[in-house]
A and B are shown apart, each in its own frame.
Chain A
Amino acid sequence: MRLLVASAALLALGIGVVAAQEATRTGPGAPELAEGKAVYAHWCAPCHANEPGLAGTMSLAVKYEGTDIPAVLEDRTDLSAPVITFFVRNGVAWMPPFRPTEISDTELEQLNAYLTAPLEDRGAHVPLLGEEMVELNARGEQ
């Protein structure tokens, strides 16, 4: 029973953390972060978005289970530019490294700026490409 109570407390805490993040994640975000956010949307979100069934988000959920580190990269506040740069250029597990022809050094700096900015400056989470297009289609039909 004690375990159950502890789990419920953790769950409540978890929900609190998520709710706090959601509250700050609206709008387009700070203009100076727009390029980095676009890099994230194009190269990272297909695997790391806040959506079900994505390998990157699922594997980080397992890795950080029991901690307060979020599974969604876009919600992280503990990342530094050298850490992001290392993973982009070296990959990890089945995530391959990304070449400068894909994410240029300049774009990598922009990505670093986005993922290390205060949460309230990042704006709403980026959508998956498919969903973005669904929304575009829906707007077109109205």
Chain B
Amino acid sequence: MSVLPPDMDAAGFAALLDELRGAVGADWIWSGDTDMFPYRDSFSPVWNTGEERHASAAVAPENVEQVSAVVRIANRHRVPLFPISTGKNFGYGGPSPNVNGSVVLDLKRMNRVLEVNEARNFCLVEPGVSYFDLYRHVEERGLKVMLDVPDPGWGSPIGNSLERGVGYTMPHFRDHFGAHCGMEVVLPDGEIMRTGMGALPGSDTWQEYPYGFGPDPAGLFAQGNFGVVTKMGFRLLPLPEYYRTGLITVRKRRDLVKLIAHVNYLSDSGMVSEVRFASPLSTWMGDPDFLALATKAGGPSDTEMDAAAETFGLPAWAVDLQFLGPQAATLAQWEYAKDRILSDIVGAEAIDGDHFKLPASEEQLENTTQPYASGVRRRAALGVPSLGIWEIVRDDGHVGFFPVIPRDGEAVFEAQRVLGDAQREFPLPPYFSAITAPLFWHTHTFQMVFAPSVKHDDPEHNAMVHRAMKKMVAVAAELGWGDYRASPIYQDDVSATYSFNNHVLRRFHEQLKDAVDPDGIIAPGRGGIWPRRFRS
């Protein structure tokens, strides 16, 4: 399905490609159906429909000067560019653009790790660097820092953080955009800008103080379309000496309220790494009677759920705690967590887990010695990139809706009920039920997961998933729970829910976009932000 850029004919497209070849070399331009196939979103629920977004070409510069040259050429031809880092944003659009006919600006060739500083705990990388690459760089040099990695290790620290992706270690490192420090950006007119201390010639603190002086525009480049990020710094966790785990269970459904409050205290005080909430009752979801109870319209009562837990001889909730730090400190933190929670919640119990010196052995990375069932993926928990998460992917991939909800037990119960009822009309697995646990990924908030699969050869299934995604976004927003990240095909829907004061946030972004990029050279539509040219 060959497409042309907006407002461009075949002759204009040929002239554009000629100019781009001049900028990056003939080997680094692609167009046509066969070559552009890998730039489609292979996880798309609108695969092979009129709604699927197709790029017209791809161009792969090897340095920032070439990026600048490409942006200037795109300006002259009024062609939208869609920047990708490693192009592995699956579930959120992959490498495919918002606007049909965009030229993908593929930054994978820019793959240099520019610095990893283990004395001051930061790194500076280019967009094509993957977590695998960065990990290899660190380990081959024996540097004593720990990465915070998302599930698939082939992603880019820059791309993932600009999507506000997450990882699984200490709270302030899990939020990958929050852990960034300093960026270099090619602006829509081709100029090269540096943020924070990077704007001060001669500064050696670019990766240590993110703000510099005056307003910090860094946030505009995350889920936005105000420039092409070509370098980015990240804070790194000094390699902890020791790792320790422990499990705490509580008997009754409503004990979750107190349990969450305690975990909030532990996390916000910097005492725990990622925590995993779970309901041991989930092992009974294959039982039709319990499934019916847990997914009952309007939600089951506490009494009903407590009776089921008692029948099965299982606690209502569990939280898997992980500690990183000096050996004595991890032990003291675990002892403190046990004392704090067990002394406050009647019936709470604790089980000591694994504990060992870092770096971990192969057996420890395989997580074979934990004395209880655990949802923790050990490699990710210790900053070791992998593709282990792919074992949960089904069919031809999936889409993702992850509403942001308060770190509060009552809010969790409400989200279970409301979102469970909302998904009832769709023939999908029960993503939301009375045993759905919150995900504690971003530093200070919870999320829940809705990730139905897609099937390339089943358009009816995909259409159902597409309808379900839109409905979940709308229903969640009515309760104040917004999606944190979305595929291009859902970005307008999600953006529309952030509507305070007649959508003033979006209107403000549009004003900025009109000022710096009225022709929409950089990813028009990304983040729901459309420049004047495309609004009309």
Contact = CB atoms under 8 A, between A and B. Distances in A.
A binds B: yes
A128 B386 contact: yes
A97 B135 contact: no
A142 interface: no
A63 interface: no
B95 interface: yes
B397 A94 contact: yes
Interface stretch (A13-21, A73-81, A85-93, A113-121): A85-93
A25 to B, nearest CB: 18
A140 interface: yes
B390 A56 contact: yes
Contacts of A96: 38, 42-43, 88, 90, 94, 397
Nearest to A93: B396
Nearest to A130: B384
A82 interface: no
B37 A94 contact: no
A93 B391 contact: no
Nearest to A88: B38
B365 A134 contact: yes
A58 B391 CA distance: 8
A129 B153 contact: yes
B108 A130 contact: no
B393 A94 contact: yes
A53 B360 contact: no
Nearest to B138: A133
A102 B132 contact: no
A94 B109 contact: no
Contact of B139 (A42, A94, A99, A136): A136
Interface of B is mostly: loop
Interface in B349-369: 359-362, 365-366
A138 B31 CA distance: 47
Contact of A54 (B42, B140, B391): B391
A66 interface: no
Contact of A97 (B42, B106, B386, B387): B42
Contact of B60 (A46, A101, A128, A136): A101
A78 to B, nearest CB: 24
B395 A94 contact: yes
Contacts of A54: 387-388, 390-391
A58 B94 CA distance: 24
Interface in B23-66: 28, 30, 35, 37-40, 42-43, 58, 60
A91 B396 CA distance: 10
A55 B135 contact: no
Nearest to B387: A46
Contacts of A133: 135-136, 139, 359, 384
A47 B361 contact: no
A28 interface: no
Contacts, number: 104
Nearest to A100: B30
Contact of A94 (B60, B132, B394): B394
Nearest to A51: B366
A55 B39 CA distance: 22
Given A131-B362, A134-B362, A91 B42 contact: yes
Interface in B95-147: 95, 106, 108-109, 128, 132, 135-136, 139-140, 142
A52 interface: yes
Given A134-B359, A134-B360, A136-B140, A98 B132 contact: no
A16 B326 CA distance: 48
Contact of B393 (A55, A90, A98, A102): A55
B526 interface: no
Contacts of A91: 38, 42
A97 B359 contact: no
Nearest to B36: A99
Contacts of A89: 37-38
Contacts of A46: 132, 153-154, 386-387
B87 interface: yes
Contacts of B58: 99, 101
Nearest to A131: B362
A137 B30 CA distance: 41
B512 to A, nearest CB: 30
Contacts of B397: 94, 96
Given A54-B387, A54-B391, A101 B90 contact: no
A99 B105 CA distance: 13
Nearest to A58: B391
B111 to A, nearest CB: 9
Of A54, A90, A98, A129, which is in contact with the most chain B CB atoms at under 10 Å from its CB? A129
B157 interface: no
A94 B39 contact: no
B235 interface: no
B139 A137 contact: yes
B423 to A, nearest CB: 22
B390 A55 contact: yes
B231 interface: no
Nearest to B109: A101
Contacts of B338: none
A130 B365 contact: yes
B135 A129 contact: yes
B94 A53 contact: no
A28 to B, nearest CB: 18
Given A54-B387, A129-B136, 13 more contacts: A46-B153, A46-B387, A54-B390, A90-B38, A93-B395, A94-B42, A94-B390, A101-B28, A129-B384, A133-B136, A136-B139, A136-B142, A137-B139
Rank and list the top 7 A-B pairs by shortest CB-CB distance, nearest first. Answer: A55-B390, A97-B38, A101-B108, A133-B139, A46-B387, A94-B393, A99-B38
19 contacts: A47-B390, A52-B366, A54-B390, A55-B391, A56-B390, A94-B393, A94-B394, A97-B42, A99-B95, A101-B87, A129-B132, A129-B385, A130-B362, A131-B365, A133-B135, A133-B136, A133-B139, A134-B359, A136-B139
